[in-house]
Amino acid sequence: MREHTSHPSHAGRDPTEKMARDRSRVGFIIALTLISINLRPMLIGLGPVLDSIRDSLSLSAGAIGTLITLPILCFGVFAPFIPRLLRYMSSEKLILLSLGILVIGIGVRSLFGVTGLFLGTLIGGASISVVMVLLPSIIKQRYPTRAGGLMVVYSTGLCVGATIAAGAAVPLETWLGGWRWSLAFWLLPVLATMLVWLRHTPKSQPGSVEESPPLPRLRNNRLAWQVTLLMGLQSSIAYCVFGWLPVILVDRGMAPLAAGFALSIAMAVQMFSSPLAPWLATRGKDQRATLISMLSFTFLGLVGTFYGPISWIWVSATSLGIGLGGCFSVALSLLVLRSPNAQIAAALSGMVQGIGYTIAAIAPLAMGVLHEITGDWNAVAGLFLLLVLGSGYFALHAGQARYVQVDSQAS
């Protein structure tokens, strides 16, 4: 009798527990989506109103270039040190704190003149780098069997946030009465996201942070370097395109408005290729075929941009968007697909984004120097070719289905 009466209560608990787990997972996905969407508007929302900022604050071309490069450099400089913060605070609390600092950075950048513009950009870039390093580790820790799919949510959210910010910046400037308020607007969704993420920030037990295992050092690991250089080179292509595509097209005879629209197409298409490419990548035995396919789309789009008929630029921009969005999302997914546990995911994320974004920050500057020295775009096209070939080489290695293995004594 005892066994018979206990069975219904056990059966009654299971559906309740399953519903609670499902609600928790759905809530986490919503929070992850909101966070990822909010990691790009501070960066992308700047470009469309740069002319207004330059005229208002009398900034030189060099100052504008520094302003654009500064947050990318922040990603590279701060990322390697971020995993060490886990000794003092949990990942969830660090993300919550970083979102609060991002709000401060947005406010400072918008309201305090030239000094505030650069200081706020520095603060915001540093806070975003913390979130970008820690999110893959949290995903791997909480949902190890669903990590690849959740990284798709993350990368797609980044593309959605960038597209929204690019399209809304100028209308916000018009509606709110100036570029300052257009930039300041983005602190509101960050504040809302903090409230959502607060529910997913557990209260750590005493000693839980200090007792967490030390993060491994990956600087001597070949696979970690292959993933890192893949991310760095393909990100270099993306940032070069985002920064220089309109300039190239204007030089080829397009009207500035049409050139800007071509860039908007390339960014919008990424919202579709970003979730589709990782889905395709996880259907096969590894990710090499998908990465090479995405790089092929990128290459065809670049060839069309530099040398194709100008009337076909919409096809080239679409091809670029497919390739860039797909390659980035698969490369980002490798942070968890190549990590056997959350500790390695955190260490790999710090290494990949630290070194990778440093490379990505240098490439647009190198493009400008090449163009200035040669006076045309042929040398720049050659640089793009080298970046694509280098990305392909590391994709063939990083895309293989294996884990980063670290000797426990080296951690």
State which of 212, 236, 256 marks the end of a domain. 212
Q: State residue 6's pLDDT score.
A: 43
Could you report the per-residue pLDDT of 238-268, keeping only the tens digit for each? 888 877 787 788 888 888 777 777 887 888 8
pLDDT of 5 higher than 60 = no
Is residue 118 located within the same domain as residue 255? no
Give yes or no: residues 176 and 237 share one domain: no
Q: How many domains does the chain have?
A: 2
Whether the pLDDT of residue 208 is over 60: the answer is no
CA-based nearest residue to 236, from 126, 348, 75: 75
User: What digits encode the pLDDT tens for the residues 312-329?
Assistant: 999 999 999 999 999 988
* Any domain includes 409: no
For the ranges 63-67, 87-91, 175-179, the one whose mean pLDDT is highest: 175-179
pTM over 0.85: no
Residue that finishes a domain, picked among 212, 246, 269: 212
Among 212, 236, 262, which residue terminates a domain?
212
Is 149 in the same domain as 285? no
Asked whether residue 220 falls in the same domain as residue 201, the answer is: no
Task: Tell me: do 232 and 167 sit in the same domain.
Answer: no
User: Over 60: is that where the pLDDT of 403 sits?
Assistant: yes
Residues 189 and 284 in one domain: no
The answer on 198 and 144 residing in a single domain is yes
Q: Which domain holds residue 305?
A: 216-404
In a domain, 4, yes or no: no
Digit-coded pLDDT (tens) for 263-313: 878 888 988 898 888 888 888 788 999 999 999 999 999 999 999 999 899
What's the rounded Cα separation, in Å, for the pair 324 and 298?
6
Alpha-carbon distance 145 to 136, whole Å? 13
Calpha distance 180→107 (Å, rounded): 9
Quote the CA–CA distance of 89 and 325 in Å, as a whole number.
33
Do 364 and 379 reside in the same domain of the chain? yes
30/144 same-domain check: yes
| Among 122, 160, 153, CA closest to 135 | 153
Statement to judge: residues 220 and 194 lie in one domain: no
